[in-house]
Homo-oligomer: A and B are copies of this chain.
Amino acid sequence: MTKNYASEISSPLSSNHEDYLKAIYILETRGEQVTNSALSEYIGFTPASATNMVKKLAQMDLVIYRPHQAVALTPTGRRVALEILRHHRLLELFLHQTLDIPWDSVHEEAERLEHVLSEALEDAIAASLGYPKVDPHGDPIPSKNGEISHTPGHPLSQSEAGRAYRLVRVLSQEKERLAYLGELGLQLNVEVFLREQAPFDGPVLVEVAGEEHALAADMAALLQVVPASAE
């Protein structure tokens, strides 16, 4: 058997089923309404396809669907979403740590592998990593029984200038963006000194590993930090 949630559902789920549920979960956690258009845009299929799939998921009791309303996960749907998300983030960390895959590439690899990970493999990976709590981007890894911790931190763009911070999460999975940040030395847990914060949503000046860089406001908004003093 290949999946933990297998006992809770009627028919086996395809990769796309799982990606839909994961997408709904992620959109839910963003606090936005999970409209059909938001969902279809996120997964990259047409709105008609999204409606179609959501109806099927509703028949399987994985989501609640009321026409023209935002879709929501049922408890079972959330369990499935969290299991796939756990696979995804464990894989990202494993690929990064064990196989030296750069942090800007792990997402796309995990996107395919997450669907073919057995329980045994999930457990073996988790064990070999020492039961980690976050992935290479600082995203929390759901526990086996579906708990997920809230990550601390606040955007660098909303932090006080003249202080040192530690990067605890990057709210982006865009390959190019992550590659750029990596070039600046901005990897997870790196120390960042916030030199200057321009007003009117202007750029921020930071110092990383002795070098100074300017970051656009929207970029800085994606960088979650905590005070470096909290060591």
Q: Does A113 contact B (CB under 8 A)?
A: yes
Alpha-carbon gap, A109 to B121, bound state (A): 8
Interface size class of A (residues with CB under 8 A): 10 to 19
Neighbouring B residues of A2 by C-beta, 8 Å: 112
Tally of this chain's copies: 2
Alpha-carbon gap, A98 to B94, bound state (A): 11
What 0/1 readout, one digit per residue, does chain A (82-123) give for beta carbons within 8 Å of chain B? 000000000000010011110001000100110110101100
Neighbouring B residues of A116 by C-beta, 8 Å: 112-113, 115-116
Secondary structure of the A side of the interface? helix
Known: A98-B98, A113-B113. A105 touches B124 (CB 8 A): no
Docked-complex contact A95 and B109, CB < 8 angstroms: no
Q: Measuring CB to CB, which residues of chain A are less than 8 angstroms from any residue of chain B? A: 2, 95, 98-101, 105, 109, 112-113, 115-116, 118, 120-121, 124-125, 128
